[in-house]
Amino acid sequence: MPFVKNLGIRARLVVLTAASVAPLMLLLAAGIAYSYGDALDRAKLDVRKTAEIAAARLSDTFQDARGRLDIIRNLVEVRRSSGPSCDAFMTSLQKANPQFVSLGLADRERGTICRGQLGGSYRLEDRSRIAEVLAMGPDGFAAGTYEEGIAAGMTTVLVVMPMAPVGGRATGVIFAAISLDHLMQSVRELSSGHDRSVVLLEASTGRVLVRRPNEVLFGTAMPDHPILPFLRTHRDGGVAELDDDDGTPRIFGAAPLPDTGSSGLTLLVGASRAATIAAVNLRSLIAVFLSLLVLGLVIAAISWLGTEMLVRPIRRLVQMASRIGAGEFEARTQIEGWQAPEFRELASTLDITAVRLEEGRRAEAAVAASESRYRLLAENTADMITCVSADGRRTFVSGASVELLGLRPEELLGEKAMDLSHPDDAEQIRSMAARLRAGGVRDALRYRVRHRDGRYVWIEATGRRIEGSDELVFAIRDASHRKAMEDHLEAANRRLATLAATDDLTGLPNRRTFNDRLANEIARCVRSGAPISLVLVDVDRFKAFNDGYGHQAGDVCLQNVATALGAEVGRAGDLVARYGGEEFVAVLPAATIDGARARAEAMRQRVRNLGIDHAGSEHGRVTISIGVASLSDAGIEDATSVLLRQADQALYAAKAGGRDAVVVFADAAPDLGIRQIA
């Protein structure tokens, strides 16, 4: 990074200090984040538990009403009552159950048929709602959904149950209106804090029965309240972070009221998110302020100490080094005794350096004279003399470079010695240099370097390390003529080896090559456990062909047969060789007996397809007979002799059977251990 190089020591210390404190700041941030999370988790748990406890408390009211209605509906007087007597009996029951603001009976045909006379004239006339309650069955119970209103000046909520069945089914319902005053008192206790809201609503319709604070009219429908989608997917209640309908972010705890029927009465307790994290905000602000204050004080202290204990002594040392560099070798460094021992040691080293430089100045004259004699010697030798520094650059080049490379010494100075070498020779040159620098002795190394005209010339280099340094000195001479002679000799040797291994007439490997290859392939098959097969080929009636067509035609015939056989043997490791005279042999490593037989048949057919006329043959054309042998266990004793003997016996059988045939040796055959395959 470019800006880093411009930072002074004091700035670097400040950066280092800040970097050292950074993990602590990260821990502080993690602690603050944990505090926020913990505060929100505790608030969620609090509103959830509060909602569940309050819902259970409110549910007791409806459970009590359900139990009392269940008792009342089974009274004989209620089941048989109608008209004025029913009104009077309901009034007496209402007196016995003062929690009921209103009490009465209704059926789906006539609506309210009788009611108590206390608390006003409350009637249930909605036939469809009566039918819904009757459809719930004999134990049905509904609260809040069917009727609500004002009775005796009080806000009420209606609870309804089917009448006891008469004749197998219920035809009417019993209803009671419950005052919400005590419910509202419980809600007021829950919402006593200014940061908490409490809502009792019907989850199915979104109508609000009770709300604190920000009260609304009893029964107000709020279908767009943000909590309703949550309640539809969490019928058992839960916790959600949502914006209230007034836009205030709150943490809502929701708990359904058990046993209130299909109305889905649900109690919501909402805590203000801002109030929940207010204390954490304050603590976090104080912690961040104190941390920044401490960080500022630490940075200021480090800056002052860095100036006194680092910057000033370093400046003095730099000034001393500059004076020494300018040739003031008599200068001395002044460092206080209380400074770091490293600075005192460096000052002492600079003083010693100044003394030794003065001594070195006097020795320079003698060195210059010696170097002059060395250069004179190097410039007048036929070899190119060059010195190479530790980083591989030439520090000296003799004039012989012009004749050797076509380059003047000044063109090579300062350049890397490896730049002119051939890429393929780079590794051995590096190895030689490393060995010389380690103190070893290296014989002459021959490699290629690029001439000025772009061609590569062969050179021979010897070198050694200069005593007391990592610099190397090399003597380099032209080796192109010697390399050309060696290449010519190597090519001649390769041609001789090829001639010794090849049959002159057919160009196939000769018998000696075949013997070596067979021994090697048998050894390889022994190691791998693979089979090996041998194919022995003889040109049928070849003597007659020579007698009839002449030896020159016979040679051409053998060449064509050799080409045909070679075309059928193309796998790596396979070999076709001239065995002698008109006989050929093929080695097929890893070939099974069936595979070898197929290959031999292909050879026979290809030679037959050559269509070479042969009047002296019973087949009228040049054909071959083939014997095939295979060993599945090449590790038997004298495997080479066994293979050859078996192949020869199979060939004999092929010729005896009429020629132009392939015969495979088999131990199970009764005659000579062979069988003929047409």
**Domain spanning 502-677, CATH architecture:** 2-Layer Sandwich (3.30)
Contact (Cβ atoms closer than 8 angstroms) between residue 184 and residue 156: no
Burial of 398 (0-12, 13-18, 19+ CB in 10 A): buried
103 vs 76, more confident:
103
Looking only at the bridges linking them, the beta strands covering 532-539 and 142-151 are: unpaired
| Per-residue pLDDT tens digits for 119-131 | 655 677 778 778 8
Residue 85: the pLDDT is 79
Instruction: Give the residue-averaged pLDDT of 300-326.
Output: 76
Report helix, strand or coil for 540. Answer: coil
Residue 146: the pLDDT is 44
Residue 192: the pLDDT is 57
Q: Which residues pair with 169 in a beta bridge?
A: 166
Angstrom distance (rounded) from CA 382 to CA 403:
9
DSSP H or E segment with residue 396: strand 394-397
**Cα dist from 648 to 134, 501, 627, 655, whole Å:** 110, 23, 6, 11
| Per-residue pLDDT tens digits for 344-383 | 777 778 777 777 777 776 666 555 544 554 555 555 566 8
**Cα dist from 140 to 70, 103, 145, 262, 459, whole Å:** 10, 17, 13, 10, 111
DSSP H or E segment with residue 37: helix 9-73
Least confident range of 317-321, 523-527, 661-665: 317-321
Angstrom distance (rounded) from CA 106 to CA 114:
7
Residue 381: the pLDDT is 64
Cis geometry, peptide bond prior to residue 589 (ω within 30 degrees of 0):
no
User: What Rg, from alpha-carbon coordinates, does the chain have?
Assistant: 57
Q: In the numeric block, which tokens belong to residue 398?
A: 């003799």
Angle between helix axes 551-567 and 542-549 (nearest 10 degrees) is 140
On the question of pLDDT at 86 being above 60, the answer is yes
Q: List the CATH code of the domain at 62-181.
A: 3.30.450.20
pTM: predicted TM-score of the whole model, two decimal places = 0.39
Contact (Cβ atoms closer than 8 angstroms) between residue 202 and residue 265: yes
Least confident range of 102-111, 400-409, 474-483: 474-483
Contact (Cβ atoms closer than 8 angstroms) between residue 593 and residue 628: yes
Residue 583: the pLDDT is 95
Instruction: Give the residue-averaged pLDDT of 542-560.
Output: 94
Rounded to 10 degrees, what is the CA torsion of 365, 369, 375, 377?
-160
Residue 482: the pLDDT is 72
Looking only at the bridges linking them, the beta strands covering 624-631 and 445-450 are: unpaired
**Cα dist from 297 to 22, 53, 108, 312, 536, whole Å:** 15, 52, 85, 22, 99
Angstrom distance (rounded) from CA 314 to CA 307:
10
559 vs 428, more confident:
559
Angle at alpha carbon of residue 62, lines to 76 and 153, rounded to 5°: 90
Q: Which residues pair with 386 in a beta bridge?
A: 397, 474
Looking only at the bridges linking them, the beta strands covering 249-256 and 238-243 are: antiparallel
Contact (Cβ atoms closer than 8 angstroms) between residue 411 and residue 440: no
Tokens 């078996």 found at: 646
Q: What is the mean pLDDT of the chain?
A: 79
Residue 674: the pLDDT is 35
Residue 207: the pLDDT is 75
On the question of pLDDT at 447 being above 90, the answer is no
CATH 3.30.450.20 is the classification of domain 381-484: yes
**Cα dist from 447 to 421, 428, 431, 463, whole Å:** 8, 9, 13, 14
| Per-residue pLDDT tens digits for 391-425 | 888 888 888 888 888 888 888 888 887 788 888 88
Intervals of CATH 3.30.450.20 along the chain? 62-181, 381-484
On the question of pLDDT at 610 being above 90, the answer is yes
- Model confidence at 497, in pLDDT bands (50, 70, 90)? low
Angstrom distance (rounded) from CA 586 to CA 579:
9
Residue 88: the pLDDT is 82
Instruction: Give the residue-averaged pLDDT of 559-567.
Output: 94
On the question of pLDDT at 480 being above 80, the answer is no
- Model confidence at 144, in pLDDT bands (50, 70, 90)? low
Query: Could you tell me what percent of the chain has a pLDDT over 90?
Result: 18
Q: Which residues pair with 461 in a beta bridge?
A: 445, 476
520 C-beta neighbours (distance < 10 Å), count = 14
Angstrom distance (rounded) from CA 120 to CA 133:
24
Identity of the highest mean pLDDT range in 70-74, 191-195, 324-328, 549-553: 549-553
Intervals of CATH 3.30.70.270 along the chain? 502-677
On the question of pLDDT at 511 being above 80, the answer is yes
Residue 286: the pLDDT is 85
- Model confidence at 578, in pLDDT bands (50, 70, 90)? very high
